[in-house]
Every structure is written in C-alpha cells, then in structure tokens.
C-alpha cells in the first residue's frame, strides 16, 4: 500500500477484555516499530521487529502486552486483560532496509472503560 | 537512557511569522529525525538529520551533533503548520529505537 495502515482506527474495550491491534507496513519495509502515545505526550517505544524477528521488546510495559510479526510483514499488538492505564494511541511505524527515515501509520486510539 | 528535551513547549504565531524550535539531547546520537504531528494525529517525517543542515521549502533543520542539539526553522508560517513538532533520536550506543522528545505545540493563527 501507499502508507502504513493500522486497524481499527478506534477501539473501545471494557476493563479485562483482550484486544488485538493490526499494522500493515509499507510493502517491502524490513523494520517495524510499535509506539504508545498517551494524551499530551510524545510517542514511547514499545517493541521493534526486523523482518519476523523481534529484536527489542524492552518497552513493553507488562507481560500483558505481546507483539508478533510471523511472516515479516503484518504485525499484531495484543493486549490481554486491558486496564484503564492502557488507554492511549498505539502507533505503528515502518522503515525500509536502506533508509533511516521512519514512516508512521495513523494509529489506533484505544479507550479502556 | 538518553534524554530529549524540546523548547519552547508551546508557541503561538500569527501567519507569516518565522520561528525556531530547539531539541537538546543528553548523549551522542547517530540518528535524529524531526516529525510534525497534525491535529488529526498523523506523524509526518520532516527531516532525517543526524548532522549538518537540510532545507525543504519553508522548513530547514540544523543538527550540531558535537554540541548535542538540533534546530528546526519554520519561515513564513501558515495555519497548516499547526500541530506538535517532535524530534526523535537514537543513541549511538543503543539499539534501533528512536526516543522522542517532549514536543513543541505550535498554533498559527490567520
């Protein structure tokens, strides 16, 4: 596709519910990143993939957060037993192998009630 | 970890004015990028500029890596420039993750 695509655009979950957020990177982009952005804050790093390998997951806030990219393209961020503090915008970004520039999707706004 | 601070936190301009946004970072970096987040939340990459100076239309950026700062210049501002400007850096001693600054919120009025 022309850009990084994320779905759903908005997600409302009840506390304790599991959610799955999808990211379709730009075709051919090797690296994929997930960021979390709280209201009024800058994006904070969650995890990073190079192809299907998860090279850095140091930013995942708890073991309720899990990310995968099984075939090296589409990625899913899963949050189990959601809590109110998980409410944020979740941003996905991708980068081609030969460039340092990062391209972001529009994000998924998660609200946990 | 590396700290990234931006100033000013908020900036209000009238259309046509010029402005300078600053990004200070606490450690050596090998990657620095400037982003604009529009009012709809979309992050747009403006510059990849680990050192030196680049220009793109009314925008230009300068990074002085040895002194650990970068500047983003906006000339003849337009209402469409409104939004939040972030710089993001990667420590030369770390993995591939970009660390984002605190942001500068710009509002341009007609």
Asked whether the predicted pLDDT for residue B78 surpasses 60, the reply is yes
Average pLDDT, chain A: 94
- Number of residues in chain B: 110
**Rounded average pLDDT over B29-46:** 93
pLDDT category of residue A86 using cuts at 50, 70 and 90: very high
Is A25 an interface residue toward B (CB < 8 Å)?
Answer: no
pLDDT digits (tens, 9 = 90+) for A37-72: 999 899 999 999 999 999 999 999 999 999 999 999
B2: nearest Cα among B78, B97, B110: B97
Q: What one-character DSSP code corresponds to residue B41?
A: -
> Which one of A40, A59, A100 would you mutate to disrupt binding with B, by most B Cβ within 10 Å of its Cβ?
A100
pLDDT digits (tens, 9 = 90+) for A87-113: 999 999 999 876 788 899 999 999 999
* C-alpha to C-alpha distance for A57 and A29, rounded to whole angstroms: 19
Q: Which residues contact residue B72 at a Cβ distance below 8 angstroms, ignoring those fewer than 6 apart?
A: B20, B21, B23, B34, B46, B47, B59, B60, B61, B85, B87
Asked whether the predicted pLDDT for residue A1 surpasses 60, the reply is no
Q: What distance in Å separates residue B14's CA from the closest CA in chain A?
A: 23
Asked whether the predicted pLDDT for residue B107 surpasses 90, the reply is yes
pLDDT digits (tens, 9 = 90+) for B41-70: 899 999 999 999 999 999 999 999 999 999
pLDDT category of residue B96 using cuts at 50, 70 and 90: confident
* C-alpha to C-alpha distance for A20 and A38, rounded to whole angstroms: 18
* Helical segments of A3-52, H only: none
* C-alpha to C-alpha distance for B11 and B43, rounded to whole angstroms: 19
Residues of B in contact with A38 (CB under 8 A): none
Contact B92, B106 (CB under 8 A): no
> Which one of A55, A102, A109 would you mutate to disrupt binding with B, by most B Cβ within 10 Å of its Cβ?
A102
Contact A89, A2 (CB under 8 A): no
> Do the Cβ atoms of A101 and B96 come within 8 Å?
no
Does residue B53 come out as left (phi exceeding 0), alpha (psi in the -120 to 50 range) or beta?
beta
Structure tokens at A76: 């899913």
A-to-B residue pairs, Cβ atoms closer than 8 angstroms = 59
């Amino acid at each position: 596709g022309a850009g990084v695509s994320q779905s759903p655009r908005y997600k409302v979950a009840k506390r304790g519910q599991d959610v799955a957020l999808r990211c379709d990177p730009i075709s051919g982009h090797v690296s994929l990143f997930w960021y979390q952005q709280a209201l009024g804050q800058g994006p904070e790093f969650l995890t990073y993939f190079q192809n299907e390998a998860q090279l850095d997951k140091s930013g995942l806030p708890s073991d309720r957060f899990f990310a995968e990219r099984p075939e090296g393209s589409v990625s899913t961020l899963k949050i189990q037993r959601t809590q109110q503090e998980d409410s944020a915008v979740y941003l996905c970004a991708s980068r081609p192998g030969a460039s340092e520039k990062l391209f972001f999707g529009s994000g998924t706004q998660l609200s946990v009630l | 970890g590396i700290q990234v601070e931006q100033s000013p936190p908020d900036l209000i301009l009238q259309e046509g004015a010029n402005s300078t946004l600053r990004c200070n970072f606490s450690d050596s970096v090998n990657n620095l990028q400037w982003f604009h987040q529009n009012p709809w939340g979309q992050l747009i990459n403006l510059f990849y500029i680990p050192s030196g100076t680049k220009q793109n239309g009314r925008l230009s950026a300068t990074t002085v890596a040895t002194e650990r700062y970068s500047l983003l210049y906006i000339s003849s501002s337009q209402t469409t420039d409104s939004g939040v400007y972030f710089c993001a850096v990667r420590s030369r001693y770390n993995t591939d993750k970009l660390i984002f600054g605190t942001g500068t919120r710009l509002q341009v009025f007609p």
